[in-house]
Chains A and B, each alone.
Chain A
Amino acid sequence: MEAAVLDTLDPLIGALRERGYAVVGPMVRDGVIRFAELDSAADLPVGRADEQAPGVYRLHERGELVFGFAASPDSVKRWTHPPRSTLFRMRDGVPEPAAVRAPKVALLGVRACDLAALAVQDRVFLGGRHPDEAYRERRAALFLIAVTCAVPGGTCFCASTGTGPRADSGFDLALTELTGPHRFLVEPGGERGAELLAALPSRPAGDADLETARGVGAAAEARMGRHLDLGGVRERLAEGRESPVWNEIASRCLTCANCTMVCPTCFCVTVEDGTSLDDGTAERTERWDSCFTLEFTELGGAPVRSSGAARYRQWLTHKFSTWFDQFGTCGCVGCGRCVTWCPAGIDIIEELERLR
């Protein structure tokens, strides 16, 4: 199946729902673009654009685009590696594994950086000696609809990390929003996407559609105001463990863990154990954790990383240096979320430059 053109997204959403998928896409919630279940294309944030800068996120009315905004604080991680999940229950000394919740979800409006993050997650969760079968199940239950970024966010730098703004692979369908007239170029990324696309009322894409679509990604890349020079960063961090810069960053960092929560690749978890008061069933829940908490390294009553400097160093060094040692790839995909959602506006690009 070749590329096609759709005038509206309702047939796509309807076809996915018919096939048993909950369609999850961008919606305005509490002044922020979040990902939530859509009933129809009318739920999409038409004409909304985000302003993102270090420590800044605001929505504005602007233009006519459906996808005229950049990264949401929600990423695919929320579905592949949920914030909380029950691992097992134990009653009368017998542990019972909890059923894995892997609902069929179609994610509409996934960005190239998020697909890159998914590829990183695959290495983290499936590439090692102890593959995570629950992750495999949840991931297999996803139908991924990418969208080419038309407007780079104010903190994006995916062109520097080679992870966007246009998705090349890793999706079922990829949309590029075109204007004059308003329409969507749809390209299948595999069998599943092609099969679905064939069932939609579309028309074949012409050369002009394809060419205009290429231009969308290229224009976004050209307008991306931020650049990170990754050359030597890995080595710089491995050798810069005693740099005075860490203490200076720590004087601004609130160790609030926002960066790790919004990061699409951060995978650390902790467990919570409890016992039900009704019948004495013991239960274990896994939840997202952050290397910014003191409990994270607690050993014999005291944290190994007691200083904010040590915790910030762990986070940044892990992303850009030791991630390579552990997983053979960079831990950063250039989405800029950690910069936007840092309440102190700490900008990792600037900090990596200062560590030079």
Chain B
Amino acid sequence: MIPTPYHVRSRRPDRADTVTLTLEPVEGACPSFLPGQFTMLYAPGVGEIPISISGRARSGGYVQTVRAVGAVSRALCRARRGDVVGVRGPFGTHWELAAAHGLDVVVAAGGLGLAPLRPVIRELAAHGARFGRISVIVGARTPSTLMYPRELARWGRDFDVQVTVDHPDRAWKGPTGLITKLVGRIVFEPARTYAFVCGPEVMMRATAGELVRRGVPAGRIALSLERNMKCGIGRCGHCQLGPLFTCLDGPVLTYDKVADLLEVKQL
């Protein structure tokens, strides 16, 4: 339960309320992580929250994107280069990329949900030959809240990347509306497809539901769940979803394990 001090090596404001930090241990090396895992990030004296790891920086540090919504995330977003923050972890389950080998791949991200999927997409870009057709579909509230726009453009050269927004601005020429609409605009063979889905819970349910309707097996649809967490190690009790501790059994779980639980309101 004791955080390890990390330096903020770099700080990049992404959007109006999100900041991407690169964090390196004050001493020693970053523990290895698997795509989809998270750390508990501690703003000294303010508090600690779970944040997914979006990648490893060239220098070896963790790349983590934080959206300022509460006291702790605001403090983390305000952190400046050279500041010390605390890190515990990495914790939790990961995206099973090997399970998608030889299959078509659908990556579906809603809003900030693109952050935990970024290491998946980078892996797909690096080892495209191990997978079938690869499609990335992304939903954002507005064009200006779309995460990682430059990387999306770059990934678009390697595979099919489609973006939809809820509220277009004048310059927007792409699709509008729910991300589920994009499922019908990409090419994949449902029975031989693996999907990685992350975003607000309502978006994940709708997307997973649409993929199942099209014939993707529920056991090949991975979601990343979000719950209140105070510890990350199954001790505080806050992140329970029915029998699951989201921090230990998740955050990444296949839809067949959670579909029933997500159906129940306020579980």
A residues whose Cβ falls under 8 Å from a Cβ of B = 87-88, 90, 93-95, 97, 125, 128-130, 132, 238, 241-242, 267-271, 273-275, 282-284, 286, 289, 291, 296-301, 304-307, 309-310, 313-314, 317-318, 321-322, 325-326
Contact = CB atoms under 8 A, between A and B. Distances in A.
A215 B227 CA distance: 51
Given A130-B234, A273-B47, A318 B86 contact: no
Most buried by A among B86, B227, B238, B264: B238
A322 B243 contact: yes
Nearest to B112: A300
B69 interface: yes
B236 A273 contact: no
Contacts of A310: 265-267
A275 B45 contact: yes
Given A129-B248, A273-B48, A95 B86 contact: yes
B233 interface: yes
Interface residues of B, number: 35
B144 interface: no
A245 to B, nearest CB: 15
Contact of A322 (B46, B226, B240): B240
B99 interface: no
A350 B44 CA distance: 47
Contacts of A301: 69-70
A67 to B, nearest CB: 33
B245 A326 contact: yes
B45 A307 contact: no
26 contacts: A88-B1, A90-B5, A93-B5, A94-B5, A95-B3, A95-B86, A125-B235, A128-B248, A129-B234, A242-B264, A269-B230, A269-B236, A269-B237, A273-B45, A273-B47, A273-B48, A274-B45, A289-B237, A297-B228, A300-B69, A304-B228, A304-B267, A305-B267, A310-B267, A322-B242, A326-B245
B171 interface: no
Nearest to B5: A93
Given A95-B5, A304-B266, A297 B227 contact: yes
A165 to B, nearest CB: 29
Contacts of B26: 93
Interface in B140-189: none
Contact of A270 (B230, B234, B240): B230
Nearest to B239: A297
Contact of A129 (B70, B84, B233, B265): B233
Contacts, number: 107
B40 to A, nearest CB: 10
Nearest to B70: A301
Contacts of B264: 241-242
Contacts of A321: 243
Contacts of A90: 3, 5, 44-45, 86
B192 to A, nearest CB: 33
Contacts of B47: 271, 273
B161 to A, nearest CB: 27
B202 interface: no
A300 B49 CA distance: 11
B16 interface: no
Contact of A93 (B2, B84, B228, B240): B84
Contacts of B44: 90, 93, 275, 282
Contact of A128 (B46, B69, B234): B234
B253 to A, nearest CB: 14
Given A299-B227, A325-B243, A273 B46 contact: yes
Interface string B246-267: 0010000000000000001111
Name B's interface SS: loop
A268 B237 contact: yes
B227 A304 contact: yes
Interface centre among A97, A286, A301 (most CB of B within 10 A): A286
A270 B238 contact: yes
Nearest to A321: B243
A296 B48 contact: no
Given A296-B228, A304-B228, A322-B243, A87 B1 contact: yes
A67 B233 CA distance: 40
Contacts of B245: 326
A301 B48 CA distance: 15
Given A289-B236, A322-B240, 16 more contacts: A90-B86, A95-B3, A129-B234, A130-B233, A267-B235, A269-B231, A269-B236, A271-B231, A274-B45, A282-B44, A284-B48, A304-B227, A306-B266, A310-B267, A318-B240, A322-B243
Contact of B235 (A241, A269, A297, A300): A269
Nearest to A128: B234
Contacts of B86: 90, 95
A286 B1 CA distance: 10
Interface string B62-76: 000000011000000
A228 B231 CA distance: 34
Q: Which 5 A-B pairs have the closest CB atoms?
A: A268-B237, A275-B45, A325-B243, A310-B266, A282-B45
Nearest to A275: B45
Contact of A271 (B2, B226, B230, B240): B230
Interface in B208-238: 226-228, 230-231, 233-238
B113 to A, nearest CB: 13
B236 A270 contact: yes
A305 B243 contact: no
Most chain A beta-carbon contacts within 10 A, residue among B45, B46, B234: B45
B77 to A, nearest CB: 14
B227 to A, nearest CB: 7
